[in-house]
Amino acid sequence: MISPLGILAGGGPLPMTIAEAVTKTGRQVFICALEGIGEPGLSKYPHDWVSFGSVGRVLKQFKMAKCQEIVMIGHVKRPERAAIIPDLGALRNALALGKIVLGGDDHILSGIADFLETKGFSVLGAHDVIPDSLIGEGVLGLSRPQAGDEKDIAKGFSVLQALGKLDVGQAVVVSGGHVLAVEAAEGTDFMLKRVAEIRASGGAVHPRGVLVKGPKPGQDLRVDMPVIGPVTVELVAAAGLSGIITQADCVLCHDRQSLVEIADKLDIFIEGKIAPN
Amino acid sequence: MISPLGILAGGGPLPMTIAEAVTKTGRQVFICALEGIGEPGLSKYPHDWVSFGSVGRVLKQFKMAKCQEIVMIGHVKRPERAAIIPDLGALRNALALGKIVLGGDDHILSGIADFLETKGFSVLGAHDVIPDSLIGEGVLGLSRPQAGDEKDIAKGFSVLQALGKLDVGQAVVVSGGHVLAVEAAEGTDFMLKRVAEIRASGGAVHPRGVLVKGPKPGQDLRVDMPVIGPVTVELVAAAGLSGIITQADCVLCHDRQSLVEIADKLDIFIEGKIAPN
**C-alpha atoms less than 13 angstroms from C-alpha of A53 in its C-beta half-sphere:** 11
Question: pLDDT tens, A87-114?
Answer: 888 777 777 777 666 655 557 788 888 8
pLDDT band at A176 (very low <50, low <70, confident <90, very high): very high
Fold type of domain A5-129: Rossmann fold (3.40.50)
Q: What is the pLDDT of residue B203?
A: 77
Interface test mutation site (partner A, options B166, B205, B241, max chain A beta carbons within 10 A): B166
Residue B178 to residue A106, Cβ atoms within 8 A: yes
Q: Which long-range contacts (CB under 8 A, 24 or more apart) does B126-129 make?
A: B126/B14, B126/B18, B126/B71, B126/B73, B126/B225, B126/B252, B127/B221, B127/B225, B127/B249, B127/B252, B128/B71, B129/B5, B129/B18, B129/B21, B129/B22, B129/B69, B129/B71
Residue A178 to residue B185, Cβ atoms within 8 A: yes
Please check the confidence at residue A130 and state whether its pLDDT lies above 70: yes
Touching B: A residues 85-144, CB under 8 Å: 104-106
Q: What is the pLDDT of residue A95?
A: 73
Considering only residues A130 and B242, tell me which one the structure prediction assigns the higher pLDDT. Answer: B242
Residue B203 near chain A (CB below 8 Å): yes
From B192, which residue of chain A is nearest by alpha-carbon distance? A186
Domain residue limits, chain A: 5-129, 134-273
The CATH number that domain B134-273 falls under is 3.40.140.80
ipTM of the complex: 0.83
In chain B, residues with a C-beta closer than 8 Å to the C-beta of A169 are 179, 182
Residue A163 to residue B159, Cβ atoms within 8 A: yes
Q: What is the pLDDT of residue A78?
A: 65
Question: pLDDT tens, B181-194?
Answer: 999 989 999 999 99
User: Mean pLDDT, chain A, as a whole number?
Assistant: 90
Rounded average pLDDT over A129-148: 94
**Which of these ranges, A162-171, A174-183, B224-233, has the smallest mean pLDDT?**
A162-171
Q: Are B256 and B119 in contact (CB under 8 A)?
A: no
pLDDT band at A165 (very low <50, low <70, confident <90, very high): confident
Question: pLDDT tens, B35-89?
Answer: 988 999 999 999 999 988 888 899 999 999 999 999 999 887 666 666 677 788 8
Rounded average pLDDT over B202-225: 88
Cβ atoms within 10 Å, residue B181: 29
Question: pLDDT tens, A7-28?
Answer: 999 998 889 999 999 999 999 9
